Amino acid sequence: MAMAKYLIGVVVFVVVATGAYYAWQALGTSLVPPPEEEEATTMSTYATTTFSVTYPSTYTVNDAYTYDEFKGKPIAGVKFTVPAAATEGTNLSSDTGISVEWLPRAKTCTGDIYILANVKAVSLMVGSTTYSVATTSGAAAGNLYEEQVYAISGSKPCTAVRYFIHSGNIGNFTQEGESSTREFDRTALLREFDEIRNSLLLSQ
């Protein structure tokens, strides 16, 4: 009799323990907060009679923009400047941005005609679009400048996308041996610019 009671007690204990375990599993899992989802970037579209382009709504649009490095021969366009959140605490300057520009009188649509420096354009195909790409970079008074121009081959008017990246030499931000400013994420910035460029659609 004692042995029977002992066996019954063991069985009851195992059943209760097993039930408690599964209850803990269910409740414990439900009490763990789900991972936070990344907030999706809100996009906006800028359109004219000749093209449309999609860009993050946090960017600032300047449709009175002109590229004025060619003295007396400004290039018309529209510029999308990066938001303050992209530059705060970094060495990236607030005039950094991407622009769509056009040269209606261009006989040949190549990237080098958008660059002041004497550079050679190269051909680049992305999907079904062929670009003529020209790049340049320079430094002055602790500032670094980089330009990448993607002219759409055969477009009329000759249309191009310009990346303008202005940053400060990170070494100039060093204070007492420690930098109070972090290096901006160039890879992420270029990826975002590429997405904007890839969204450009020319009107037929």
Q: So where are the chain's domains? A: 1-37, 43-202
Contacts of 68 (CB under 8 A, 6+ apart): 74, 75
Mean of pLDDT over the chain = 85
Pick 150 or 29 by higher pLDDT. Answer: 150
Q: How high is the pLDDT of residue 2?
A: 46
In the CATH scheme, what is the homologous superfamily, with its name and number, of domain 43-202?
A: Mog1/PsbP, alpha/beta/alpha sandwich (3.40.1000.10)
For the cut 50, the answer to whether the pLDDT of residue 14 exceeds it is no
The DSSP element (H or E) to which 12 belongs, if any, is helix 2-31
Q: Is the pLDDT of residue 120 over 80?
A: yes
Token pair, residue 78, equals: 């529209």
Position 136 pLDDT exceeds 90: yes
